[in-house]
Amino acid sequence: MNSFGTLFRVTIFGESHGKALGITVDGVPPGIELKEDDFLRDLKRRKAGKKGTTPRKEPDIPQIISGVHEGFTTGAPLTILCRNENSRSGDYEKLKDIPRPGHADFTAGVKYFGFADRRGSGHFSGRMTLGLVAAGVIAKKVCRPMIFSSRILSLHGSSDFDREIREAIDAGDSIGGIIETTVDKVDPGLGEPFFGSVESLLSHIVFSIPAIRGIEFGDGFRAAEMRGCEHNDSIVEIDGKTETNHSGGINGGITSGNQVVFRAAVKPASSISLPQNTINVSTGKIEELTIEGRHDVCIPLRMPIVLEAASAIVFADLLLQRRAYLLSHESAIRKTRQERPENGLERNKR
Ligand X SMILES: Cc1cc2nc3c(=O)[nH]c(=O)nc-3n(C[C@H](O)[C@H](O)[C@H](O)COP(=O)(O)O)c2cc1C
Binding region for ligand X (CB under 6 A) = 54, 103-104, 121, 124-126, 129, 209-211, 267, 269-271, 295-296, 299, 302
Q: Which is nearer to ligand X, 223 or 279 (CB)?
A: 279
Q: Which is nearer to ligand X, 233 or 308 (CB)?
A: 308
CB of 104 to ligand X, least distance (A): 4
CB of 306 to ligand X, least distance (A): 6
DSSP string, 113-162: TT-S--GGGGGGSGGGHHHHHHHHHHHHHHHTT-EEEEEEEEETTBS-HH
Amino acid at 52: G
Q: Which is nearer to ligand X, 104 or 186 (CB)?
A: 104
CB of 161 to ligand X, least distance (A): 17
**d(Cα 129, Cα 181) in Å, to the nearest integer?**
17
CB of 285 to ligand X, least distance (A): 23
**DSSP H helical segments within the chain, as ranges?**
40-46, 105-111, 129-143, 161-171, 198-208, 228-231, 304-328, 330-339, 345-348
Q: Which is nearer to ligand X, 103 or 119 (CB)?
A: 103
**d(Cα 319, Cα 308) in Å, to the nearest integer?**
16
Is there a contact between 295 and 270 (Cβ–Cβ < 8 Å)?
no
CB of 337 to ligand X, least distance (A): 46
Q: Which is nearer to ligand X, 134 or 142 (CB)?
A: 134
Q: Using CB positions, name the residue nearest to ligand X.
A: 126
**d(Cα 291, Cα 289) in Å, to the nearest integer?**
6
